[in-house]
Structure 1
């Protein structure tokens, strides 16, 4: 797969959903500093982060990241990925609304441009040509280097690429869908083949299944201990216990954490150069970064994949 201009540094995209929410103040800046010092160069955020919190309206993550970028003077080194499409309905993909959302994100990020701008979801009631044209306008504004699609299926992404090919519009050149050891439907064989054949990197979210794949959630008591427990239960799937059993064995063999194993498995899957994962503390970040030093054997990869079903 050829290099994508929005991909750089170590093979981890730092998830921005926690910044301005559970990662704030000096503690959040410490995470970002440590990521940068470790060679991290990609940060993923969205205009909707963190509108789900009472009193928040969205944009909190971008605002916080903009403060860090400005205070550290590292914008030229970083690849900033952000998204639009969740703070409303299909009207967000009208050409003028895309540009308005982009400008608002840039103001919060304190940037003149972003390296990767995603359509955060598909609105299948819209003709795909309309979505392609609207995001093409974002690139033509000179404020976006490349485009990505998030939560698109193989059929709609394929249609979008065909429209771009036919019209000369800027194509989607990256994909961000859910994918991990216990949830693989959103990046199935057809979509994998499309991405690999077109050289489209897939940067998966929920790489740790909201913490389930850290191995910390195994019983109902575990799920009840944390606010994330309910989400981890939802994402664990029917095959969750079998996957954790296989991960336990690999952890015994390698000495690696479950989080490192989950992420190391991801980067060995077709079309995936880097997963997205979040860290609220420097200790959590260090646990994530361990995967970059872990090389799973073919046999271990096969056992993990078989457990996933």
Structure 2
């Protein structure tokens, strides 16, 4: 039963074969297009085996409705499980991309998700590359009377240690004459396996800033300084085992 008391059948949502096919047809209608370049599973479905998921994808690929399938917010073991199942089926392309939370301030994906993606040949598409605005010069904007932090960014800055970390980041880039948001995007482009971060500019100026990040080259000294401020977790299993 759902929150309204209505019966929710197994094929009603998530990654059941029937729901995938219904969702794709609905998307094609809304988008007024003949096919979807990349159809992404937004989250894992603990109740549907990958055999069933790939059966639905194979049908859709055969019908020309989608070209490729990717994942989003998958743990490393699910990426492996998905692609090993696809390999056993033969003829199933498997996952080609993983969209995950990854940025300078949130690097846990480096532990297992990104290594799994690289081993299986998936392109990594980081979401929230500025970590909710925290990496976009949020403290400097506050001081200058500009847009104040809100939501997760505002909550994070209430922690003195987190605020000091962001302040150190902004001070470092100010010393180099660089914009925080552009450096955060440029840093992601240096990371192995990353295809390209997802940006969400609200203004033309923000879009131009994101495009400048593509041309920005970060020196080794600056990269080391960024690692000191935002150290990653390290690879698994060493990061959690010893």
TM over 0.5: yes
Change (3 A) 1:277 1:234: farther
Contact kept? 2:98, 2:125, Cα under 8 Å: yes
Contact kept? 1:208, 1:214, Cα under 8 Å: yes
Residues in 2 aligned to 1:276 and 1:235: alpha-carbon distance in whole angstroms: 22
After TM superposition, give the deviation of residue 240 of structure 1 in Å. 5.5
Contact kept? 2:61, 2:67, Cα under 8 Å: yes
Contact kept? 1:183, 1:235, Cα under 8 Å: no
Tell which has more relative contact order, 1 or 2 (C-alpha 8 A, sep 6+): 1
Residues in 2 aligned to 1:154 and 1:242: alpha-carbon distance in whole angstroms: 28
Q: Is structure 2 residue 179 aligned with structure 1 residue 267? A: no
Larger radius of gyration: 2
The residue correspondences of 1:247-266 to structure 2 (distance < 5 A) are 247-253=170-176, 255-266=177-188
Match of 1:201 among 119, 123, 126: 123
Contact kept? 1:132, 1:164, Cα under 8 Å: yes
Residues in 2 aligned to 1:206 and 1:90: alpha-carbon distance in whole angstroms: 29
- Computed over aligned residues only, the root mean square deviation of the Cα atoms, in angstroms, reads 2.7
After TM superposition, give the deviation of residue 278 of structure 1 in Å. 0.5
The residue aligned with 1:231 is 152
After TM superposition, give the deviation of residue 251 of structure 1 in Å. 3.9
Change (3 A) 1:157 1:90: farther
After TM superposition, give the deviation of residue 244 of structure 1 in Å. 4.2
Residues in 2 aligned to 1:298 and 1:104: alpha-carbon distance in whole angstroms: 48
Unmatched runs of 5 consecutive residues or more in structure 2: 1-9, 232-242
TM-score (norm 1): 0.63
Contact kept? 2:74, 2:113, Cα under 8 Å: no
| Secondary structure of the structure 2 residue equivalent to 1:264 | helix
Change (3 A) 1:246 1:165: same
